[in-house]
Amino acid sequence: MKYDHILIRYGEIALKGKNRSEFERKLQKNIKAVIKPFPNCKVRRTFGRMFIELNDEPHEPIIDRVKDVFGVQSLSLALKVENEIEQIQEGALWALQASGADAKTFKVNARRAYKPFPINSQELNPLIGGHILKNLNHLSVDVHHPDVEVKVEVREGATYISCGTIAGAGGLPVGTSGKVMLMLSGGIDSPVAGYLAMKRGAALEAIHFHSPPYTNERAKQKVEDLTKILATFGGTIRLHVVPFTNLQKHIHEKVPSNFEMTIMRRMMYRISEAIATKEQALAIVNGESLGQVASQTLESMHTINEVTTLPILRPLITMDKVEVIDIAHKIGTYETSILPFEDCCTIFLPPDSKTKPKREHANKFEQYVDYDSYIDEAVAGTEVIEISANQTVDKSFEELF
């Protein structure tokens, strides 16, 4: 005997109604995408479960990829046997021995999803447990805190047996909640915001404001690398790199320094909305956290929001920096985010930014800015880079430091 399947359990998807099959199809598609390097694997779904047939492919790297797919609640390496009680008993005995655990206690957790099977769940537990006790007399049953739990699922066509459960990413399959445009700066916060938006099922495109020669190619490469990391959670991501230098210099020349940041953020929203509309994205996502900096006070958000009708999603709005950093570590973006390359928000940074800017003042100062032509120029000059999950992060710039 050998483990020949990976059993995948859903989380929230199980609560869906008539559109449940649509969520399941999307999850199946996303799983197929991440295991593409293993061509012998087959992904099959049944009601409430999905199975990967390994067909002699190595299970460790496949589990590593699948556990990070949003929509997967948990997964287990599983043995498939026929729906015969003798085979189920032998399979359970083998799985417990193969678990490698130095176990002294165990329990059997049997579930008869296929109702025509003649033995119900409560009857299966003692039949399987008794067979294990007869063959492994050093073990005893502990139904509350067992060293090993043998899970048995009787389904139409086959029974699947597993010992051990690996936690998945949870959330909803990427692509089931529409498309959003992430404002990706290159700092710690915005990649985390993108990750959390994807966790709620949003398909992601990213937009980055690039201001050469004040920001250099290393800063741009850093953002590409962050996008590659995010792509491992949600497939291919298109990165829009907006040339922002001319508009930023114009703002610097025309607007009082204490309103410079407010006007610059309003221009960023206008450009983001233009590109989001073009790409059929339905919302803008950013990494703002309430009160973190001058542009993230409620008054600033109120004034900056005025220029767009798109919903602005702020997944980090109630988090403090420690919470955000914890997530950045967990998803693998932190080390790249702290590389010391300036982004456009850190150049021309005035020391006296308004923390409570009013809309009427912002509108007054924008009269000095010929922003329509500059916005058209920036949108027209935007470079689009397609970044897939299978690309590796470029470490060459990091090695220079």
Helix (H/G/I), strand (E/B), else coil: 79 = strand
In sequence order, the β-bridge partners of residue 79 are: 161
What per-residue confidence (pLDDT) applies to 186? Answer: 87
In sequence order, the β-bridge partners of residue 181 are: 205, 284
Closest CA to 300 of 242, 271, 260: 260
**What would the two tokens of residue 35 be?**
């295991």
User: What percent of the chain lies above the pLDDT cut of 70?
Assistant: 94
**Mean pLDDT score across all residues of the chain:** 91
CA 335/CA 328 separation, integer angstroms = 8
What per-residue confidence (pLDDT) applies to 215? Answer: 79
Indicate the residue type of 347. I
> 131: which DSSP letter?
H
User: What percent of the chain lies above the pLDDT cut of 90?
Assistant: 76
pLDDT (tens digit per residue) in 89-98: 999 999 999 8
pLDDT (tens digit per residue) in 172-220: 999 999 999 999 998 999 999 999 999 999 999 999 999 888 877 888 8
Strands (E) across 198-298 are located at: 203-210, 237-243, 283-285
Mean pLDDT computed over 79-95: 96
CA 317/CA 325 separation, integer angstroms = 14
CA 262/CA 266 separation, integer angstroms = 6
> In terms of pLDDT, which residue wins out, 211 or 153?
153
- Of the chain, the end-to-end C-alpha distance in Å amounts to 51
Tokens 């027209």 belong to 380
- In three-state form (DSSP H/G/I as H, E/B as E, the rest C), the secondary structure along 12-40 is HHHHCCCCHHHHHHHHHHHHHHHCCCCCC
Phi-psi region of 353 (alpha: psi -120 to 50; beta: other; left: phi over 0): beta
Mean pLDDT computed over 342-364: 79
What per-residue confidence (pLDDT) applies to 101? Answer: 65
CA 133/CA 151 separation, integer angstroms = 16
Phi, psi of 167 (to 5 degrees): -70, 140
pLDDT (tens digit per residue) in 318-340: 999 999 999 999 999 999 999 87
- Contact between 157 and 116 under an 8 Å Cβ cutoff? The reply is no
What per-residue confidence (pLDDT) applies to 17? Answer: 78
CA 248/CA 261 separation, integer angstroms = 10
- Contact between 87 and 65 under an 8 Å Cβ cutoff? The reply is no
Closest CA to 376 of 303, 280, 289, 270: 270
